[in-house]
Amino acid sequence: MKSILRKVARAARHLLAKFAGSLLRVLWPQYMSGGNVHDPNMVLGAWFRQKMLRRNGRVSWPVHRTTEVRAPERIQRGSRTPGLSAGCYLDGRNGIILGPNVWIGPHVSLISMNHDAINYEKYLLADPIRIDQDCWLGQGATVLPSVHLGPHTVVGAGAVVTKSFPSGNQLIGGNPARFIKNLPPYEN
């Protein structure tokens, strides 16, 4: 009996893998119409967790099961899927604008809203976080409210970005983040 159940489960997984892309175009048309290239089985798992189990249910793109997204309607995601790496925290309450080809590593935090220092129950309004095209945020990096990162800015792992670096083609890192060196232009 167990061998029959294993064969049925294997056949079901095979069929699901074969038709996952088509199934996702029906289940998640808003995301799939963007020409996304992620593994359909991974996207189907994210769809199930988000749309059926309601973990990050308001997010219109797939995110990792350990990622938390606040105010996803205020996040412009560019051409990639922010939060697909493990353990990310995306707080879009003041807005997050991501350009095309922005790579976000695991455990990255984009925090667009902060508490008032004299009344912790109040939040401060600020400009949105803006990250231009071809940027890469290394593991554990934190970007704070109103920061603007110019095109092709690489943020080192564990960096805490407290101010803007709009010039681009640069490597930044540290706590607080500082300019480390210039980079050649990004190659497609």
User: For the domain bounded by 63-188, which CATH number is listed?
Assistant: 2.160.10.10
pLDDT confidence of residue 168: 92
The mean per-residue pLDDT over the stretch 132-150 comes to 98
Question: Counting runs of H as helices and runs of E as strands, what totals does the chain give?
Answer: 3, 16
The mean per-residue pLDDT over the stretch 55-71 comes to 91
pLDDT confidence of residue 48: 80
pTM score = 0.81
* Start and end residues for every CATH 2.160.10.10 domain found in the chain: 63-188
With contact defined as beta carbons under 8 Å apart, do 164 and 148 qualify?
yes
Strands 136-137 and 153-155, bridge-based pairing: parallel
Strands 96-98 and 75-76, bridge-based pairing: parallel
- pLDDT band, very low/low/confident/very high, at 112 (cuts 50, 70, 90): very high
Q: Which of 161, 163, 168 is nearest to 182 (CA)?
A: 168
More confident residue, 92 or 7: 92
Q: Please state, in angstroms and rounded to a whole number, the distance separating the CA atoms of residues 104 and 7.
A: 39
Active site residues: 115
